[in-house]
Structure 1
Amino acid sequence: MQIGYARVSTNEQDLTLQIAALKKHGCERIFTDKISGSKLQRPGLNEALNFARKGDCIVIWKLDRLGRTMKGLIDLVEELNKKEIDICSLTDHIDTKGVTGKFFFHIMAAFAEMERELTRERTIAGLEAARKAGKKGGRPKSMTTKKLKAAKKLLSSGMTAKDVSQTLEVSLSTLYRYCPASDL
């Protein structure tokens, strides 16, 4: 039996492309997840693994849908080999039924891990360069200097903290962080 597994990392992403490819390949059952590949507990993958029986093939759209590290992928393949369940990756053209497919699986897993590490290194280097250039990451502060002055003026005039937070469009906890009761 061909068992499909599709995964995207966030709820904003769409599974349509992967599911269509799995159906076209002939998957009779498809399991899905909307969760990061780095998470160990993926309910859809666990269901697919529990559903699969000896002689079945778990079909994925791309190798990185199964996991993010070479060790994780190899461990999964070894577990499936013990159960005599194969893996087929559609876009990577890998089928672990044969020796060549197993060999290519290990090579592709190494490249997938290397690509992830290179992306991580580039991201860290980019953040470091931005810091050196004086740029600050993260969300902008909701309590600006102008809003802080207005908040203090409104609070000293007797307006309630709740009304001030609504007027300035900041949360009550943000208002309290910048204007503690002890300062008024």
Structure 2
Amino acid sequence: MTIFGYARVSSREQNLDTQIEQLEARKCDIIIEEKMTGATFKRPQLENLLEEAKEGDTIIVTRVDRLGRNTQQLLELVNVLQARNISLYIIELGIEATHRNGKLFLTILSALAENERELLAEKRNAGLENAKRKGIKLGRKGKARGQLELAIELWQQGEKTIKQIEESTGVGKSILYREIQKRGLTRAI
């Protein structure tokens, strides 16, 4: 019987260290790491884990949201594991999710979490609509025009690297390059 740990974060910039520490403390034999959004149904490392796990094995996750973003996704996974006699333990909840009572608790908790995400999205959308009605401009604010002009001037002089220009003006290289291309500028030699 193998104890698998599954750690997932939603983006490449995020860190798995905390999850891995918790899984190591649970004496997992194998820890699977994945950097993939939970909103997508394609999670290759999780799929490989599910193929590799056998009857009597255990899968441990730190939190329920590491496995899926909605109740349906989560319950389908629990049902598959239950049918294959593979245990699922969720550290944060302290439950065996494939057990009857654990599955009930997980269903209720997952439905509440999904409802909360939907409410937050509704509030966000209502706020955006309200701002539009008031004529408030939405989106990222551009860099101060003076900073962009300074960045272009420094680039044209050719004495500083792009990184140095970014650091001194706060203007990102993609913005700088876009503006240089838009204006058709060349650099002094």
State TM-score, norm by structure 1.
Answer: 0.74
8 Å contact 1:143–1:174 — kept in the other structure?
no
Q: Partner of 1:57 in structure 2?
A: 58
Aligned residue runs from structure 1 range 1-184, under 5 A: 1-141=2-142, 170=175
SS at match of 2:60: strand
Letter in 2 for 1:95: E
Question: How far 1:94 sits from its partner (Å)?
Answer: 2.2
Structure 1, 118-127 or 64-73: larger mean CA deviation: 118-127
Match of 2:166 in 1: none
Q: Does the CA-based 8 Å contact 1:2-1:56 persist in structure 2? A: yes
- Distance in 1 between the 2:56 and 2:113 partners? 27
Contact 1:62 1:91 in 2 (8 A): yes
How many corresponding residue pairs?
Answer: 169
Instruction: Please give the per-residue CA displacement for 1:76-117, whole angstroms capped at 9, x wherever unaligned.
Output: 111222222121111022213422112112112212211221
Structure 2 gap ranges (5+): 157-161, 163-170, 185-189
Distance 1:48 1:69 in 2: 20
Rounded to whole Å, the distance in 2 between the matches of 1:127 and 1:136 is 10
Partner amino acid for 1:71?
Q
| 8 A contact 1:2–1:59 mirrored in 2 | yes
> Which residue in the other structure is 1:160 paired with?
none
- Normalising by the residue count of structure 2, what TM-score does the alignment of the two structures yield? 0.73
Distance in 1 of aligned mates of 2:29 and 2:11: 25
Greater radius of gyration (CA): 1
**CA RMSD between the two structures:** 3.2
Once the two structures are aligned, what percentage of the paired residues are identical? 35
Contact between 1:66 and 1:73, CA under 8 Å: does it hold in 2?
yes
Read off the aligned partner of 1:13 and give its amino acid letter: Q
Preserved contact between residue 81 and residue 98 of structure 2 (Cα < 8 Å): no
1:173, CA displacement in angstroms? 5.3
Identify unmatched segments of 5+ residues in structure 1. 152-162
Greater shift in the superposed pair: 97-106 or 14-23: 97-106
